[in-house]
Amino acid sequence: MQYPEWIWQNGSIKRWAEATTHVMSHALHYGSSVFEGIRTYDTPNGPIIFRLNDHNQRLFASAKIYDMPIPYSLAQINAACHEVIKANGHSTDYLRPVAYRGLGGFGLSADTPTDVAVATWKMGQYLGPSVLEEGIDACVSSWQRFAPNTIPAGAKAGGNYLSGQLVAREARRLGFGEGIALASTGLLSEGAGENLFLVFNGALHTTPVSAALLNGLTRNTIITLARDAGIEVVERDLPREYLYLCDELFMCGTAAEITPIRSVDGRQVGSGRRGPVTERIQELFFGLFNGKTADKYGWLEAVK
Ligand code: PMP
For the CA of 153, the nearest atom of ligand 1:
3
Q: Is 162 helix (H, G, I), strand (E, B) or coil?
A: helix
195 CB near ligand 1 (under 6 Å): yes
Spatial separation of the C-alpha atoms in residues 52 and 78, rounded to whole Å: 7
37 CB near ligand 1 (under 6 Å): yes
248 CB near ligand 1 (under 6 Å): no
pLDDT of residue 124: 86
Q: Whose CA is nearest to atom 4 of ligand 1?
A: 193
With 0-12 CB in 10 A as exposed, 13-18 as middle and 19+ as buried, what is 85? buried
For the CA of 55, the nearest atom of ligand 1:
15
Q: What average pLDDT score do residues 225-252 get?
A: 98
CATH topology classification for 131-290:
D-amino Acid Aminotransferase; Chain A, domain 2 (3.20.10)
pLDDT of residue 126: 81
Question: 170 alpha carbon to ligand 1 midpoint, in Å?
Answer: 19
pLDDT, tens digit, 9 for 90 and up, residues 66-106:
999 999 999 999 999 999 999 999 888 999 999 999 999 99
For the question of an ipTM over 0.90, the answer is: yes
Spatial separation of the C-alpha atoms in residues 271 and 180, rounded to whole Å: 20
**pLDDT over 80 (residue 128):** no
For the CA of 58, the nearest atom of ligand 1:
15
pLDDT, tens digit, 9 for 90 and up, residues 6-45:
999 999 999 999 999 999 999 999 999 999 999 999 999 9
6-121: CATH, from 3.30.390.10, 3.30.70.141, 3.30.470.10, 3.30.470.20: 3.30.470.10
Whether 304 is catalytic is no
Question: 104 alpha carbon to ligand 1 midpoint, in Å?
Answer: 30
Which residue ranges make up each domain of the chain?
6-121, 131-290
Phi and psi at residue 129, to the nearest 5°: -70, 150
Strands 94-101 and 114-121, sheet pairing: antiparallel
Question: 206 alpha carbon to ligand 1 midpoint, in Å?
Answer: 14
86, 156, 292, 296: the active-site residue: 156
pLDDT, tens digit, 9 for 90 and up, residues 131-183:
999 999 999 999 999 999 999 999 999 999 999 999 999 999 999 999 999 99
What is the radius of gyration, based on Cα positions, of the chain?
19
Question: 58 alpha carbon to ligand 1 midpoint, in Å?
Answer: 11
**pLDDT over 90 (residue 129):** no
Confidence class for position 304, pLDDT limits 50, 70, 90: confident
Phi and psi at residue 290, to the nearest 5°: -105, 5
Query: Does the fold of domain 131-290 match that of domain 6-121?
Result: no
